[in-house]
Structure 1
Amino acid sequence: MAKVTLTVNGRKMSGECDDRILLVNFVRDNLGLTGTHVGCDTTQCGACVIHMDGKSVKSCTILAVQANGSEITTIEGLAKDGELHPVQAAFKENHGLQCGFCTPGMVMTSVDMIRRHGAKLDEATVRHELEGNICRCTGYHNIVKSVLAAAHEMGAKQAAE
């Protein structure tokens, strides 16, 4: 058994796990944060995307022990003071979700994408960068629309500041 200590959504958290436990399972089973979904366990679907040290990663590709000491943000950590993150709000307003299974990974990937590209984000880039996230319900139109709306809103907010 290995002790893993992470800063998760701003709080230091620890747990013990087998050396072979994937980060996605550690976050869900040991830390009780079930917003991060397990889809394929083979890095194909993107349902398990979280932020590790500020970058989006598929948490089914990383062992929990490899993440020891890292700063993690999960879907639960995006909303602040009961207010949705702008990307979460844009998904809600633009109907960017159906069953919700892929939504946490889509949102986490989108937050990182907007952080890197800002308001300059275009449809082709969004579609390209979401290729690693599979949605079986929506056909992506409203997901892309949501990401672009959030990028525009966040870019306008940054420009005003």
Structure 2
Amino acid sequence: MPDDLTRHVDAETALAGAPPGHKDELRLWLRLLTCTTLVEAEIRRRLRREFDTTLPRFDLLAQLERAPAGLTLGEVSRRMMVSNGNVTGLAARLEEEGLIERRVSPTDRRAQTLRLTARGRREFARQSRAHEGWIAELMAGLAPAERAALHALLGRAKASVRAGLEGGEA
């Protein structure tokens, strides 16, 4: 594990010695956030080291891989939850490298559709194989039944959050 992660004191750890009265929900949120932060930092580090790329670039390629007919800039930005400006800059660099192509949208001549090139598909396949292995490695400390139980519980947590956002009961 990299030194910066081993020295990292997260909010969950800082809260561990907190006096009684802290809500279970807050501790759960902090644990989820800590897990996400640790995994994301390691994936970013490995993408840089192994492929000289970034997580946003990988994510954009992943979105396009899932949509063989292509996506507009707006669709990509909604899926990635980033601004159109961020997508435009990423797309320009990936296009320069020959990994994606832009085409005028067949349904709206004002919009551009982004698609993976053959080279982009090959490169994303290479990166995604490594990514899948890294995630498996990071989750290897959990038994298959534990992963299944955690997945199910997180599904319920997701439904609870959605219900809370809609103002309904969980």
**Could you state the TM-score of these two structures normalised by the residue count of structure 2?**
0.27
Higher relative strand content: 1
**Could you state the TM-score of these two structures normalised by the residue count of structure 1?**
0.28
Higher relative helix content: 2
Pair member with larger Rg: 2
